[in-house]
A and B are shown apart, each in its own frame.
Chain A
Amino acid sequence: MNEKPNPRLTANGFAISRRNFLGLIGSTAAAGMLGFPGQLIARRRGTLIVGAPADPSSLDPATGGAGTDHVFLYPIFDTLVEWDYATLAPRPGLAKAWHYPDPRTLVLTLQENVRFHDGTPFDAEAVKFNLERNLRDPRSNIRTELASVESVAVTGPLEVTLKLKEPDTVLVLILSDRAGMMASPKALQELGERHDRSPVGTGPMRFVDWSDGEKVVLTRNEHYWKPNRPLVDGIEFRIITDSATRLRSVISGQADVAYHLDGRQIPLIERSRQLQLVTGPTIYCYQLYLNMSRGPLQDVRVRQALNFAIDREAFVKATMAGAGEPAYMNLPRSHWAYDEEVAKLYPYDPDRARALLKEAGFSNGVELDMRGYSDQGSVQRQEFLLEQFAQVGIRGRFRTGTIPEMSATYFGPEKGGDFLLSAFTGRPDPSQTYALMYLEDAYFNAGRVPPPPGFLEALLRSRSTTDIEERRQALSVVQRIVMENALVVPLAFRNEVSAASARVENMRSNLLGKPKFEDVSLQDT
C-alpha cells in the first residue's frame, strides 16, 4: 500500500497501482453507485458551483497564457497524457499508450470511440492538426514546448508518430499540459480566433457561456468516453478574485467549492461544520527570481547569503499560516525527483550570511533594488523578508506594482530590479522548470546569465533517457549546480487549500496545484 506507482515512461496499457485501484472502488462506493459488475450507475445532483480566483485569459489551450487557466481547461479538454494526483507520474489519457521505438521517435496509440463536443471524431488526424497548430500558429503561446518535434505523422487511424530533432523524454509530460489538450479541428477552422471564447474539446464538460470576470458555465457532456463520468450536471465557475470573499461564498452556501484559498483561512474552514478542508502539497513555489548580471548579485557569496538569511519555517508559519513546505530547492519533498542532500545546503544561518557578505566586501551591509507585486498577500511576504534581511545587513525597499507592470519591468527589456519576489507555478516535468528558469536565453533568467558548467549536460541527459532512476540522478546534478551557485532563492511551496461544502464528494488536491473536478459528485442535501 505504500508503494509509489512507478512512473515508467513506456506504458503498455493501463498501469494502475493497487492503491489507486482500491481508492477508485472506495470513491465509487462513496458516490453511492450501485455495484453491478460492469454497470455502474452514477447519481447526479445538479451543477457544481466553483469559486475561481481569476478570469481565464483564453479558453483555447494554445492562445492562453495564465497558470490559472488550466482549471477551466481541464473539464473542457482531455489531454493526451494524464498524471497521478500525488506524484505527477504520467498516466494514459487520450493516448492510451505510447512508446519510444528509438530515442528520436515517439509513437502514440489513441483511445477509441472518442468524439469532440461537436460530434466530430477524435482520431490521429485530429491530433496531428492540434500538434501542428500548437507548433505553427502565430497566436500559439506554446510553440517552445513542442520545440523538439520535427514532424507529426498519421501512421494509423488511431496512431500518431512524432519525429524529434533530438531525444526528448520530457515530451510525454508536456503532452499532459496545454500542448496535449485536443480541440476539435473543425471548430478551430470554422471559428478561428473566436475559439478562444467558444472552445470545443472532448472533455467531460461542454462549454456554454463565458461572462468576463464573472462566470464560466459548462454543462455535462452526455457522450463522454470515460465510463460513468462526469458525475455532475454541469460546472459553473464564479470568478471571485479575493480569497476572503471566495471562501465566504462557500460558507454562505452560494458556491460548492472554492479553491486557491489562503492558509490563513484554514481555521475558518475547520471551524465551520458544513465545510470540508481539501488540502495537499503542490509544486507552486514562492521564490526570489535573481538578476545575476547586475549589482551585488553578481557575486555568488551575496546570493548564498540571501539563502542563509531567511528562516523559511517562520516564513511558512507567518505568511502561509503553516499551509506550506519550506523550499530549499525547486522541488517539494513528495516529488519523485526530490534530492534530500541538496535540500540540506541552506539551513537558516544568519551568522553565515553575515560572514559571506563580509567576505564579499560588504561588511557594512549591502543595498539591493527589490521588486514585488502590490497585492496585500505579496506585500505581507515582502514585509517579512525585509525584516529577515535587515537582521543580516541587507537593506532596501520593495518597489511594488501590479503583476503585469512588475513582470514587464523585471523580465522585459527594461530589466529593472535586482530581484523579484514572485512565484513559479511549476511544470509537470522538472526539467522544464530548470530549462525555463536557468538556460541562458530563458525568459525567467532576467540577467541572461549562462548557467554554470555541467548544467547543460546534466539537463540534456535527463531528457534523453527513459529510465526513471537515470533521470532522477541527472536531475539531482542539475539541482545541485543550481543551489550551490545560488541561482535562485526558493522560499516555500504552497499547499493547495480548498473548501468544499458538505454536499461535495471526492474533491481531492493534486501535486500540480491545479484542481480537477472529474471525479467530483454532489450528494443529496
Chain B
Amino acid sequence: MSATTLLPLQQDSIVVRFGRWLRRDIRGALSLAFLLLLIVVALLAPWIAPYSPTEQDYANMLAEPSARHWLGTDDLGRDVFSRLIHGTASSLYAAFLAVGVAVLVGVPVGLVAGFMGGWVDLAISRCIDTLLSFPAIVLAVAVTGAMGIGLTNAMLAVGLVFSPQLARLVRARTLVVRQELYVDAARCFGASLPRLLLKHVLPNAIQPVLVQATLLLAVALLAEASLNFLGLGVQPPDVSWGMMIARGYMYMEIAPAQMYVPGLAILLTAIAFNTLGESLRVALDPTLRGR
C-alpha cells in the first residue's frame, strides 16, 4: 500500500449518524424531544398560557384543579398552569446561563493550564482545588450575596462554582493530547500556540466537556431551586419553578400540590438533561457501546 492510500475513513454525514443514533437510543431521543418541547413552550409562553402569571384573584386562592384552572391556583389566586409555563423560560435560562458561564470560564482556564504546564499549571491547579473543596452551595450563596440577589446573578454564581470541574476535565484531556505526536509535528512546522489549541487540542477535549455540560444542566436546575429556597433567587414579579417550590413550602400541609407540581417539572427536566448527557457519553465514546 502506498502512502497516498492512507486516506481518512469514509464517514457518513453527520445527519445520517444523528438519525441512526436517534433510532437506536430511544431514551435519548425522548429526552431530546422533551427538551425541544420545553424550549418551544418557553418561547411561546405568552401565547400558550391561559392566564397572565401575575393576575391575582383574592376570591380564589389555593383553589383545587378545575376546568377553569387546570392545576388550580396559588397563594395569591394566580393560575398555577400559566405560572408553570412562564417559569419554563426562567428555568431553562437559568440552567443554560449557568452552564454557559461554566464552559466559558472553565474551558479556557483548563486549556491554558494543561498546555502551558509549569508554574502556570501549578497555580491554576491549586486554585481549582481550592474552589472544588468548597461546598458548592456555600460558594454560590456567597457570590450571589456579593453580586446582589436576582436570577441572573445567582446563576452566574452557580456557573462560576461549576467552572472548576470543567477546567479540571479540560486540563486532563489537554495534558493527554499535548503529548500526541502530531501536535509536536505541527509545532515543528511553526504553528502558533492559539492555533494549536484551537485546531488540535480543543476538538479532542470537547467531547467530555459536552457530556459533562449536559449533565451539569440538570445540576444547575437543582441549584437554582435550592438558591430560591434559601431566598436568593428570582425577584418579584418574576416566576421560576424553584421559586414556586419555595412558596409551596409555606403551604405544605394545606395545599401540597403547590409543592408537587413545580417539583415534578424540575424532576422531569433534570431527568431529560441527564438522560441526554448519558446518551451523548455513550454516543461519543465508541468503547462504551454494548455495555
Q: Assess A/B contact in the complex (Cβ within 8 A).
A: yes
Interface of A toward B, CB cutoff 8 Å: 242-244, 248, 262, 264, 267-268, 314, 317-319, 372, 374-377, 379-380, 382-384, 386-387, 397-402, 405
B236 contacts A317, CB within 8 Å?
Answer: no
- Whether B56 lies near A398 (C-beta < 8 A) is no
Once the chains are docked, how many angstroms separate the CA of A244 from the CA of B251?
8
With A318-B56, A402-B231 already in contact, the answer to whether A374 and B149 are too (CB < 8 A) is: yes
CB pair B231–A375 under 8 Å, yes or no, is yes
**Contact B236–A244 (Cβ < 8 Å):** no
Contact A380 B56 (CB under 8 A): no
B235, A397: Cβ atoms closer than 8 Å: yes
Given A383-B236, A384-B76, A386-B237, A314:B58 Cβ within 8 A: yes
B27 within 8 A of A: no
| Residues in B neighbouring A384, C-beta threshold 8 A | 56, 76
Inter-chain pairs besides A242-B249, A384-B76, A400-B149, 16 sampled, C-beta below 8 Å: A248-B253, A264-B254, A267-B254, A318-B56, A318-B75, A372-B236, A374-B149, A382-B236, A383-B54, A383-B56, A383-B236, A386-B54, A386-B236, A397-B235, A400-B236, A402-B231
Q: Are A376 and B231 in contact (CB under 8 A)?
A: yes
Name A375's closest neighbour in chain B (CB-CB). Answer: B231
Let me know if B56 and A387 touch, CB within 8 A: yes
CA distance A268 to B250 in the complex (A): 12
In the complex, which residues of chain B have a beta carbon less than 8 angstroms from the beta carbon of A318? 56, 58, 61, 75-77
Interface: B46 (CB within 8 A): no
1/0 per residue, CB under 8 A from A, across B36-66: the answer is: 0000000000000000001110100100000
A267 to chain B: closest residue by CB? B254
Q: Is the interface of A mostly helix, strand, loop or mixed?
A: helix
Which residues of the other chain, B, contact A248 by a CB distance below 8 angstroms? Answer: 253
Residues of B within 8 A of A401 (CB): 148-149
Whether B145 sits at the interface, judged by CB under 8 Å, is yes
CB–CB B246/A376 < 8 A: yes
> In the bound complex, do residue B250 and residue A374 qualify as a contact, i.e. CB atoms below 8 Å apart?
no
Residue B200 at the chain A interface, CB threshold 8 Å: no
Contacts of A374 in B (CB 8 A): 149, 231-232
Question: Is A244 within 8 A of B249, CB to CB?
Answer: yes
- A480–chain B nearest beta-carbon distance, Å: 31
CB distance from B109 to the nearest CB of A (A): 31
**Is B247 close to A, CB under 8 A?**
yes
**Interfacial residues of chain B within 249-274, with CB under 8 A of chain A in the complex:** 249-254
A379 neighbours in B (Cβ, 8 Å)? 236, 247
Our pick among B54, B61, B249 for the contact of A387 (Cβ within 8 Å) is B54
Q: How far apart are B145's CB and chain A's nearest CB, in angstroms?
A: 7
| B229-246 to A contact mask, C-beta < 8 Å, 1/0 | 001100111000000001
B56 touches A244 (CB 8 A): no
Q: Which residues of B contact A242 (CB under 8 A)?
A: 249
